[in-house]
Structure 1
Amino acid sequence: MNVEALYHRPKNSFAYAYDEKTLHIRLRTKKGDMDSVSLIYGDPYNWNEDGWQTSKMAMEYSGSDEWFDYYFAAIQPEFRRLRYGFELISGDVKKVYTERGLFDEAPFDDTAYYFCFPFLNSADVFRAPSWVRDTVWYQIFPERFANGNLKNDPEGALPWGSADPEINNFFGGDFEGVIENISYLKELGISGIYFTPIFKAKSNHKYDTIDYMEIDPQFGDKETFRKLVKVCHENGIKVMLDAVFNHSGYYFKPFQDVLENEEQSAYKDWFHLREYPIKTEPRPNYDTFAFEKSMPKLNTENPEVRRYLLDVARYWVEEFDIDGWRLDVANEVDHAFWREFRKTVKSVKPDTYILGEIWHDSMPWLAGDQFDAVMNYPFTNAALDFVASEKIDAAAFAEKIMNVVHMYPENVSEAAFNLLGSHDTQRVLTLCGDTKEKVKLLYVLMMSYSGTPCIYYGDEISMTGGKDPGCRKCMEWVEEKQDLDMYRHVQKLITLRKTVSGFGNGATLKFLKTEDQTLLFEKVGDNTSVLIAINAGENSALVSYSLDENKNAYDLWNKTAPVSGTLKVELPPFGFALFEVK
């Protein structure tokens, strides 16, 4: 038994309140080490003449990553308190793992040996807005989606799609263009729009904010935005805005005042200024986003800055009824600010979705006091490595995904923001070497995964593009140039996600078979399950699976006759199959 690999810690992703009655307990062990794991548990105050009263239950094996196995138990303690440990059996060795270490036999003379979940307080339960689990997002880069009003085009705007995107060119995309195309999004099945920044700024991407309280005039005015939100809501579509609170733009008035007045500026403490006089070259001598001189970092520990930004957060929810904030460079802003941000926004509209842009393990932001979710780049990277670049095989993909699954509590994962590409990355079709069947596989993986999926505008019609700014082309509205087969593929998957229980959220992911580039996994729900077979290889592959007695497999994609006994599927190169088993 490899005891060095054992890991458990309460009050994080290994022991957490799933809801007001249920605790989820996880244990990590060395991969392939344990024959069985059981949870020993009891209320710390439940004693009688025989001593402390405990129970024992077998824990379920919940998956493996590259190095470790994971075990899981869900329990509803009668009085919402719990002390617990783990009985481990490996061959003829038995150990009991507690907070105070390992024992040959479970010690019952004192509950202090055991891990402690002191009390399941309702206020501590992680709660993301319930509507998010059923939302399919569509990311819009406003300058490039559609031009509905030529009168508000910025100076020098080019005819739509007449040139490749560059870091400093404009094409006139605006709110009226979005309003005119709401029916397109609704028909696709979209129920949420994530807009990159819309506030006044100099650039075409608007991540260099000049005024957080004003719409950039090239997009329209506040009344047009109000109309946009109203039209979205009437069509069952939520609206999420991008908040750039880590840094401002160079032409933000407080920063201009600092540049003009140096040490005498009333705003000098709004930023992280290291010395005077202020310099922008060769590197700025003030903190910025990366080393970008036009994006000075805001000092969110300053009370005036906090007050200003929290007023911004409140204003757009209160005045325009937006449904979410996506928080740019969220990991570089102090946790105390985000806690205030959450209280401010939730006090106005409790079911506002708060999404952080964090590319790495984000557990410190996901304890229920800051964000509802983060952008799930670990899923993105695993999917792209498996299908797009073929860097890893099916087994390695399964291991990476199981690592992601066990990275966060289950109720956190159900609200995770899943994506294949964005304004920050190459287009997914370009990453796939223009192989459209690979893109279709990636959409199968994303749409069937727990969380809330997002489509980057134009990916559903096979637009291409390299790294920024190449990924920011004008949306293609000429139907003859759109890939309508890809559109129908994405549309069909969205419909399955909405109509088949457990295809997305509400089911447990289990990998059943991995061989070379072929993968079979199951989404297990309460009454049914969904089987998904993926062939990410260039050769055909045969997948077979023995169904439980009295169970039938129903083809969700091609609607062929139901199968009982043994399910056998011939998958073409980059092919897939979807079955509901009941």
Structure 2
Amino acid sequence: MLKEAIYHRPEGAWAYPLDVNCLRIRLRAKRGDRIRCRLLHADRYSGEGDESIVDLEKTATDTLFDYYEGVIPTATRRVRYVFYLEDPMGGCWYGEKGIFNNRREAGDFQFAYICHSHLFEIPDWAYDGVVYQIFPERFYNGDPGNDPAEVEPWNKGARPKANSFYGGDLQGIIDQLSYLKELGVNLIYLTPIFKSPSNHKYDTTDYYRIDPHFGDLDTLKKLVDKAHRLGMRVMLDAVINHAGYGFFAFQDVLKNGADSKYADWFYIQEFPVVTEPVPNYETFANDVWTMPKLNMSHPEVAAYFLDMAEYWIKEAGIDGWRLDVANEVDPDFWRAFRKRVKKANPDALIVGEIWHDSGPWLQGDQFDSVMNYLFRDAVMQFFATREIGADVFDAQLAKSRMLYREQALYAMFNLLDSHDTERFLTACGGREERMRLAVLFQMTYLGMPMIYYGDEAGMDGETDPDCRRPMLWRESDRNGELFTLYQALLRIRRQHPALRRGDYRTWYVDPAAGIYGYLRRTEEDCVGVILNNGGGTQTVSLDTHLFGEAPRLHDPLHGKIVDGRDGRVTVTLAPYEGRMISTNSG
């Protein structure tokens, strides 16, 4: 074995509690090293020789490493442990002091005590969540009486500009809740709805007022109440990294300069404040003068936004927050935010917008999950642009899973696209068969599938603002077959606990043929998915031992019986076809 590749830390995603009496351990080793990994563990105060032994299972492989995992039970919450690693050449001990042939020289890793603050708890409903993202200005116009001036025509030919308005509002979402129920989603995520001069509302003027072109507090309450009665939750978007130019505190700074009591709420470089030729204050992104950056380390600023977050949970009954540009805000604020939000509603979900490795924010003290752009990157490259093969795809997925604790993985927003990206169908070059295969993967992967409004109708569009076209509602404009596919996959997801709460294991990888397969498993349910991401018909023989002893397996997607005798099943896949195999019909 390559000892330099062996890695573990008694913290983070490498060692974390599942509850106060259960610790999950993760170890890294060189890819392809055939090692047996055993973990010896005991109470920290017990003597040598009192250890129990757990065999770790290889659960994932990326381009460089294999990952092994196991669970340690502990009655006392105090744990010491050491690894014993074996390959055909012999064995060695791996502990806090390093890798040695002698057990005592290696020492023990210590997880001194499992405190309640170590626990990472996500809302139980999140395991079953399916997200539908709505850009309110473009979803449905339910109240033309609150339209902005000069709204543009709402039709399939609409091509929005950065400053276009079409009249979508909260009443429109209320009017279409039955549509969302029919589709099968259960969490509605709205991009910002607070008062703002723009169509996107990421430049908030008043955090305590619904934008009048969208409705008012009563409209939001009506939306949340009706959604709840239909079994759906509602999440709002909080823009806390920056405010809008018209935000009262920034207007006071513009008026009173250095004498403003809000001067320290922002990062002003000098007075008087100017916006041209470039702003002399920090902003969102590069010199976006309409979005001054907030100083979230300032106690008064933090208190204002903590109060705001609690207000909307209590006043409107919302079910959580999506947090814009979350990686540029003081982490201490997010820790306080989590405490305040979870106190107001322990079942609230907190999701950060982070496009990269989000490990530091997913330790259980800040967010429940993030917008899973690492997932999107891999899916784009495998299904849409076909830049990578099945082996690299599997490795990218494995690497991203190994960044995080298990709890965060089940709450991830697994998106194909969003209001910030090109539409997935456009990324596929209009090749619907590629998108259909990607949707099958999205609906059966670990985490919460996130549907961007209109994807289920076959909407296309380049990146912002073209990806924000008005929703297609005329039947003749919509892709009915794609909608039916979404419905069917979401129905199967509801029927199979393995697809919502099961673990994930790679099942079959053939990069030459473009075949990729994986298993989702609970103790009582197992679903296998096999995908042909290629232009030719392929026949594959699959091991079915992990499905148990059932001689008859089921294909829930096509309603067929599959012969699983003798521990193998043969499946023929048409180009860009996916199949599902399960232990029960759902």
The corresponding residue for 1:160 is: 154
Within the candidate set 97, 101, 108, 1:100 is matched to: 97
What's the secondary structure of 1:18's corresponding residue?
strand
1:547 Cα shift?
2.7
The corresponding residue for 2:189 is: 194
The corresponding residue for 1:44 is: 44
Q: 512-521 or 135-144, which moves further after superposition?
A: 512-521
The corresponding residue for 1:14 is: 14
Cα contact 2:16–2:118 (8 A) shared by 1: no
Give CA-to-partner distance per residue, 1:122-147, whole Å, 9 cap, x none.
34210011111111110000000000
1:302 Cα shift?
1.2
Q: 461-470 or 158-167, which moves further after superposition?
A: 158-167
Determine whether 1:143 maps to 2:145.
no
Cα contact 1:229–1:239 (8 A) shared by 2: yes
Within the candidate set 151, 161, 170, 2:165 is matched to: 170
TM-score by length of 2: 0.96
The corresponding residue for 1:446 is: 442
Counterparts of 1:350-429 in structure 2 under 5 Å? 350-429=346-425
Counterparts of 1:43-442 in structure 2 under 5 Å? 43-47=43-47, 51-107=48-104, 113-161=107-155, 163-291=158-286, 292-442=288-438
Distance 1:518 1:192 in 2: 32
Distance 1:183 1:55 in 2: 54
Determine whether 1:533 maps to 2:555.
no
The corresponding residue for 2:3 is: 3
Q: 272-281 or 436-445, which moves further after superposition?
A: 272-281
Cα contact 1:34–1:88 (8 A) shared by 2: no
What's the secondary structure of 2:491's corresponding residue?
helix
Distance 1:356 1:518 in 2: 33
Structure 1: stretches of 5+ with no match in the other structure: none
1:301 Cα shift?
1.1
1:327 Cα shift?
0.3
The corresponding residue for 1:569 is: 571
1:92 Cα shift?
1.2
Letter in 1 for 2:510: T
Letter in 2 for 1:253: F
1:52 Cα shift?
4.4
Within the candidate set 450, 462, 466, 2:458 is matched to: 462
Distance 1:56 1:546 in 2: 29
Cα contact 1:258–1:265 (8 A) shared by 2: yes
The corresponding residue for 1:489 is: 485
Distance 1:249 1:164 in 2: 26
Distance 2:154 2:525 in 1: 48
Cα contact 2:508–2:515 (8 A) shared by 1: no
1:21 Cα shift?
2.2
Distance 1:30 1:147 in 2: 56
Q: 5-14 or 502-511, which moves further after superposition?
A: 502-511
1:560 Cα shift?
1.7
Letter in 2 for 1:290: A
Distance 1:294 1:91 in 2: 64
Letter in 2 for 1:231: K
Q: Structure 1 residues 151, 488: CA separation in 2 closer, same or farther (over 3 Å shift)?
A: same
Distance 2:153 2:473 in 1: 13
Letter in 1 for 2:554: Y
1:261 Cα shift?
2.2
Cα contact 2:539–2:570 (8 A) shared by 1: yes
What's the secondary structure of 1:160's corresponding residue?
coil
1:271 Cα shift?
0.2
The corresponding residue for 2:558 is: 558
1:276 Cα shift?
2.3
Q: 512-521 or 454-463, which moves further after superposition?
A: 512-521
Distance 2:120 2:561 in 1: 43
What's the secondary structure of 1:163's corresponding residue?
coil
Structure 2: stretches of 5+ with no match in the other structure: none
Distance 1:418 1:464 in 2: 19
Determine whether 1:27 maps to 2:27.
yes
Taking only the aligned residue pairs, the percentage that are identical comes to 44
Determine whether 1:580 maps to 2:576.
no
Distance 1:180 1:264 in 2: 48
Give CA-to-partner distance per residue, 1:338-364, whole Å, 9 cap, x none.
111111111111111111111111111
Count of paired positions:
576
1:383 Cα shift?
1.0
Cα contact 1:147–1:160 (8 A) shared by 2: no
Letter in 2 for 1:64: T
Cα contact 1:306–1:337 (8 A) shared by 2: yes
Distance 1:283 1:393 in 2: 45
Give CA-to-partner distance per residue, 1:533-579, whole Å, 9 cap, x none.
11111222212113337333211111122312331111111111001
What's the secondary structure of 2:469's corresponding residue?
coil
What's the secondary structure of 1:206's corresponding residue?
coil
Give CA-to-partner distance per residue, 1:177-209, whole Å, 9 cap, x none.
111111100000011100000000011000000
What's the secondary structure of 1:107's corresponding residue?
helix
1:372 Cα shift?
1.0
1:160 Cα shift?
1.7
What's the secondary structure of 1:402's corresponding residue?
helix
1:311 Cα shift?
1.2
TM-score by length of 1: 0.96
Cα contact 1:553–1:567 (8 A) shared by 2: no
Cα contact 2:193–2:211 (8 A) shared by 1: yes
Moved over 6 A (4+): none
Cα contact 1:510–1:524 (8 A) shared by 2: no
Letter in 2 for 1:71: Y
Letter in 2 for 1:550: E
- Superposition CA RMSD, Å: 1.5
Letter in 2 for 1:470: D
